[in-house]
Amino acid sequence: AQTVTQSQPEMSVQEAETVTLSCTYDTSESNYYLFWYKQPPSRQMILVIRQEAYKQQNATENRFSVNFQKAAKSFSLKISDSQLGDTAMYFCAFMKGAGTASKLTFGTGTRLQVTL
Amino acid sequence: EAQVTQNPRYLITVTGKKLTVTCSQNMNHEYMSWYRQDPGLGLRQIYYSMNVEVTDKGDVPEGYKVSRKEKRNFPLILESPSPNQTSLYFCASSTLKGAYGYTFGSGTRLTVV
C-alpha cells in the first residue's frame, strides 16, 4: 500500500517570499502520478500541479514548482512570490499510474499562512 | 462549466436518521469516488465506481452505501448515521485514465448529533 507523509502541519511565510512544502511517499510502483492540491477556506479542492513519475523534468505552473526526487521518493512544492491568496491547506497526493484511474492517497496536509 | 455538484453543502442530522448526499458530474467521467476529510487524517476514500453498476469499497466503507445507476450520479447513503461519521465529505470524478487527477465537488459538512 502507498503512504504519503507531510511532516509540516503548519507553515508561515511573508508575502512576496518563497516557501517550500515537503512531501515524501512510499511505494513499490514504478509508474505513478503525484499531485498537490490546495484547499482554501472555501474548502474547495483545487489542483495546483501534477507530476508524472516517468518524467524527470520538474513540473511548473506559474509561481508553483515542484522538486521531484524519484530515488528519494520526495515531492516538495515551492511557492514563489507568495500572495495572501495562497493561504490554504495544501495536500500532497499519490496515484498509481497503471493506465486506469485509481485511488488518490493523500497526506495529512500542511496549513500555510501568508502574512503581510 | 465542467463541474462536480454536491448537495447539500451543510447538513445536521440525528443519530440513526437515514440520509443521502447527492453527487452529479457533467464531464462524462467514468470514475467517481467519495472521500471523507478529518483533521490530522487527510482525505480517505470511502467508495469508488469505475462505471455504471460497478462500485467497490475504499479504505473506510463501514456505515456507507453507494449506487451508480447513471453515469453522472453517484449518491452517498448513510442508512444509520452515527456521531463518528461527522466529517467533511467530498465527491470527485475523473476520466478512466486518471492521469490528471480528480475534479472535486465543493464538499458537504455533515454533523451527526
Three-state SS sequence of chain B? CCCEEEECCEEEECCCCCEEEEEEECCCCCEEEEEEEECCCEEEEEEEEEECCEEEECCCCCCCEECCCCCCECCEEECCCCHHHCEEEEEEEECCCCCCCCEECCCEEEEEC
Query: A33–B58: do the CB atoms touch at under 8 Å?
Result: no
Contact A4, A105 (CB under 8 A): yes
Shortest Cα–Cα distance, A15 to chain B (Å):
26
- Chain B residues near residue A102 by CB distance under 8 angstroms: 98
Does position B96 have pLDDT exceeding 90, yes or no? no
Nearest residue in chain A measured CA to CA from B97: A100
- Chain B residues near residue A97 by CB distance under 8 angstroms: 98-99
Query: pLDDT digits over B44-94, tens only?
Result: 999 999 999 999 999 999 999 999 999 999 999 999 999 999 999 999 999
- Chain B residues near residue A109 by CB distance under 8 angstroms: 42
Query: pLDDT digits over B28-49, tens only?
Result: 999 999 999 999 999 999 999 9
Shortest Cα–Cα distance, B67 to chain A (Å):
18
